[in-house]
């Protein structure tokens, strides 16, 4: 990821499931569908050049983290950070990432429709806030 970011001259690199070569085999079809929907909607509302607002798999220059502080819980922080990083004038490069099942530990990702909907509300609120804040 670092080599790719440096080669592209990017300030931030994002492992993206939703660019050519990326994918998600870790989550159910329902989970992938909800992820695609929120990412497409975020792209339409915020900045369509970012394809995976909810990846959480990022690498950035120190200058970004000195200027753009993390806000939000669970996955909202990633939507917020990517958008505000781009808005602050930093460059972001997405590279293909294949999300695979965990080998250890537990994921906080929802496992059913109700879980996706209850967590998704905060994603929607975050996108809405970012879209209309000055």
* Domain range enclosing 112: 2-100+107-129
Q: Which residue has the higher pLDDT, 41 or 115?
A: 41
Q: Is residue 49 part of a domain?
A: yes
Chain centre to alpha carbon of residue 92: 12
Q: How far apart are the first and last CA of the chain?
A: 32
| pLDDT above 90 as % of the chain | 70
Please state the pTM of the whole predicted model: 0.90
Tens-place pLDDT, residues 73-114: 877 999 999 999 999 999 999 999 999 988 887 776 777 778
Does residue 134 lie in a domain region? no
Decide if 43 is inside a domain. Answer: yes
Burial of 103 (0-12, 13-18, 19+ CB in 10 A): exposed
Q: Which of 54, 31, 27 is nearest to 42 (CA)?
A: 54
């Amino acid at each position: 990821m670092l080599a790719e970011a440096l080669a592209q001259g990017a300030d931030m690199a994002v492992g993206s499931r939703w660019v050519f070569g990326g994918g998600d085999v870790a989550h159910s079809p329902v989970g992938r569908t909800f992820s695609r929907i929120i990412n497409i909607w975020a792209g339409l509302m915020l900045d369509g050049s970012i394809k995976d607002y909810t990846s959480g798999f990022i690498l950035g220059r120190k200058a970004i983290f000195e200027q753009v502080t993390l806000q939000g819980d669970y996955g909202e922080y990633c939507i917020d950070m990517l958008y505000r990083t781009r808005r602050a004038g930093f460059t972001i490069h997405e590279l293909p990432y294949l999300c695979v099942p965990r080998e250890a530990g537990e994921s906080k990702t929802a496992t059913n429709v109700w879980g996706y909907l209850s967590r998704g509300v905060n994603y929607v609120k975050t996108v809405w806030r970012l879209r209309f804040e000055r």
